[in-house]
Amino acid sequence: MSAEIRVPIEHERDIVTARQRGRELAAANGFSSTDQTLVALAISEIARNIVSYAKRGEVMLLALEETGRRGIVVIARDEGPGIADPELAMKDGYSTAKSLGVGLPGAKRVMDEFKLETQLGKGTTVTMKKWVR
Amino acid sequence: MTVSDRQRSLQSSMHDMGLTEEAIERRKRIVGLEPADLGRIAAVKDVVARGAEEFMATFFEFLSKLDEARPLVTSHGLLDRARQLKKAHLAAMVQGEYGTRYVEQRLELAQLYARAGLEMLVFLGAFHHLLRAIGSAIMKQFERSPMEGFENFMSLQKVAFFDIGIIVDVLVMERERTIRQQEEAIRELSTPVLQVRDRMLLLPIIGVIDTHRARLITESLLRAIRANRAKVVVMDVTGVATIDSKVANHLLQTVTAARLMGALVIVTGLSSEVAQSLVALGIELSKINTVGDLQGGLEEAERVLGYRLLRNGDALPPPTMTEN
């Protein structure tokens, strides 16, 4: 398995770096141009959440290969305040920060697998996978 | 800059570079500088002190012969200060104290090199010549016990590499800072609002939109709408690869604000990827007028303003009623 890519997230420019790396990795693993954009979009949304809510964290990107299919996994970790109501946070249009409130649900929609783990006061980890179609 | 100002700015640089006492100790461990070295360095203290003037001359003579170092050697202010600091460096190198104070001095000299635009390669060349001069003097002193002289010199060399580590870090950091400033400048320049016709503006957006740039775009557009009494704005996003929810929100707000000022915004050039992203995010864009490409957008804008485009020689068609 290829080496993981880690992008520390603290400033807005790190969001751009993370999604560019994600797009490159997706391109290198045979994703279509549209899917590269969707992967970049999902990374952008969750990295943006780190900057907005947790101040700093990390996005890890990894190429996947299992039972004959290829894909990538994106893991975003932070040690921020955590999410009080994860179910509500996954609802369209819900936001505590006057944004559109489509980031988390949107990211979930464009990826194939999506897992949100969060603990109040401890932080949040989002794991998402997308397979080559 | 007064002495205390300089001191304060050095302290903040130390902080920015993470040069805490622990970090300094770690750097010493990496170059292998141990207590045993201090004795050997003390043994060459006199040789280095005696030759200090000569060693310093070697360093600056090397630089004066290079075109790349011209900004440093031709600016008397910088050169005088560099000589002063280099002399202090040579004295401090053999004192056996390599703590915060010593690192601050290295930092000050490194920042001066950075200001003079000294390249790393050029600095390393000059520093190599300086070390060779010191090495020769030490070997001469220990003519009868060359092994001892060599060991002493090697201990001093650890200090030299400790110094190089700091200088290289400062030069790299300064370069990164310059790059960041240039990026900033490009961003500021890259949101032109162009007048295409009377009361019609074109806003081409190219590259990465972050929140800072989105705000700039909004501001400059609204200002231009007021200044040009614009009625129609064509916002072209052909050159934007990714639009995430935050950026989409900014664009929506810009369009709404423009409408409040009486201008209609036509968005053109949404790529299929970006269109799919926006749909996937579930962003409501029905309030926005979109036209496939820039040409179509400009034609639509002209139609809204009541312009008709005629080829030279074409017969003038009968006037039609326009919406305005």
The question of ipTM being above 0.90 is answered as: no
Domain limit, last residue, from B183, B210, B237: B183
- Using N-to-C axis directions, what is the helix angle for A103-110 and B272-281, rounded to 10°? 120
Contact between chains at B281 and A99 (C-beta distance less than 8 A) = no
Between residues B315 and A129, which one has the greater pLDDT? A129
Would you say residue B319 lies in a domain?
no
> Among A119-133, B47-61, B302-316, which is the least confidently predicted range?
B302-316
Token look-up 């360095």 returns: B41
Do B165 and B208 lie in one domain? The reply is no
Strand partners, A113: A129
* pLDDT tier for residue B304 given thresholds of 50, 70 and 90: very high
For B115, the domain range is 3-183
Q: Which two tokens stand for residue B258?
A: 């423009």
Q: How many domains, chain B?
A: 2
Contacts of B276 in chain A (CB under 8 A): 34, 37-38
Q: What is the average per-residue pLDDT within B268-296?
A: 87
Which one of B28-32, B268-272, B305-309 scores highest in mean pLDDT?
A: B28-32
Sheet of A57-66: strands edge to edge? A5-9, A57-66, A69-78, A123-131, A113-119
Beta strands in A3-122, from DSSP E residues, in sequence order: 5-9, 57-66, 69-78, 113-119
- CA B279 to chain A, closest CA, distance in angstroms equals 9
Do B171 and B203 lie in one domain? The reply is no
**Cα B313 to Cα A105: distance, rounded to the nearest angstrom:** 57
Do B162 and B276 lie in one domain? The reply is no
**What b/e sequence results for B29-45 when a residue is b if at least 16 CB atoms lie within 10 Å of its CB, and e otherwise?**
eebebeeebbebbebbb
In 3D, which of A50, A101, A102 has the Cα closest to residue A78?
A: A50
CB A28 within 8 A of CB A72: no
Q: How many domains, chain A?
A: 1
Token look-up 């990026």 returns: B183
Q: Could you tell me the CA-to-CA distances from B93 to A6, A85, B11, B65, B135 in Å, in that order?
A: 39, 59, 21, 26, 14
For A126, the domain range is 5-131
**Cα A79 to Cα B64: distance, rounded to the nearest angstrom:** 53
Rounded average pLDDT per 10-residue block, chain A, 133 residues: 83 89 93 92 93 92 90 94 86 75 86 93 94 91
* pLDDT tier for residue B25 given thresholds of 50, 70 and 90: very high
- CA A64 to chain B, closest CA, distance in angstroms equals 23
HEC sequence for B116-173: CCCCHHHHHHHHHHHHHHHHHHHHHHCCCCHHHHHHHHHHHHHHHHHHHHHHHHHHHH
Would you say residue B321 lies in a domain?
no
Domain limit, last residue, from B183, B213, B231: B183
Would you say residue B83 lies in a domain?
yes
Token look-up 């100002």 returns: B5
Do B112 and B219 lie in one domain? The reply is no
pLDDT of B27 reads 95
Contacts of B249 in chain A (CB under 8 A): 99-100
Do B109 and B50 lie in one domain? The reply is yes
Do B157 and B15 lie in one domain? The reply is yes
In 3D, which of B126, B158, B153 has the Cα closest to residue B47?
A: B153
Chain B touched by A51 (CB under 8 Å)? no
Do B274 and B224 lie in one domain? The reply is yes
CATH code of the domain containing B199: 3.30.750.24
pLDDT of B1 reads 58
Reply yes or no on whether the pLDDT at B75 is more than 90. Answer: no
Do B32 and B112 lie in one domain? The reply is yes
Contacts of B283 in chain A (CB under 8 A): 100, 102
CATH code of the domain containing B89: 1.10.490.10
Chain CA centroid to CA B14, Å: 18
Domain limit, last residue, from B183, B217, B248: B183
Would you say residue B171 lies in a domain?
yes
CA atoms within 13 A on the CB side of B10: 19
- CA B180 to chain A, closest CA, distance in angstroms equals 10
Closest residue of A to B183, CA-based? Answer: A13
pLDDT of A41 reads 92
Chain B touched by A27 (CB under 8 Å)? no
Do B105 and B203 lie in one domain? The reply is no
3-state secondary structure of A27: helix
Do B205 and B179 lie in one domain? The reply is no
Would you say residue B67 lies in a domain?
yes
pLDDT of B321 reads 60
**Cα B19 to Cα B169: distance, rounded to the nearest angstrom:** 11
Would you say residue B313 lies in a domain?
no
In 3D, which of A15, A31, A25 has the Cα closest to residue B214?
A: A15
Using alpha carbons only, how large is chain A's radius of gyration in Å?
Answer: 14
Do B179 and B199 lie in one domain? The reply is no
Do B175 and B229 lie in one domain? The reply is no
pLDDT of B196 reads 92
**Cα B203 to Cα B264: distance, rounded to the nearest angstrom:** 13
Contacts of A34 in chain B (CB under 8 A): 272-273, 276
CATH code of the domain containing A73: 3.30.565.10
pLDDT of A24 reads 93
Q: What is the average per-residue pLDDT within B224-252?
A: 90
**Cα B13 to Cα B248: distance, rounded to the nearest angstrom:** 38
Closest residue of B to A107, CA-based? Answer: B281
A9 phi and psi angles, rounded to 5 deg: -115, 120
Q: Which two tokens stand for residue A74?
A: 């994106």
Reply yes or no on whether the pLDDT at B322 is more than 60. Answer: no
Contacts of A16 in chain B (CB under 8 A): 208, 210
Q: What is the average per-residue pLDDT within B174-184?
A: 82
Between residues B120 and B209, which one has the greater pLDDT? B120
Reply yes or no on whether the pLDDT at B324 is more than 60. Answer: no
Would you say residue B312 lies in a domain?
no
Would you say residue B316 lies in a domain?
no
Q: What is the mean pLDDT of chain B?
A: 89
pLDDT of A98 reads 66
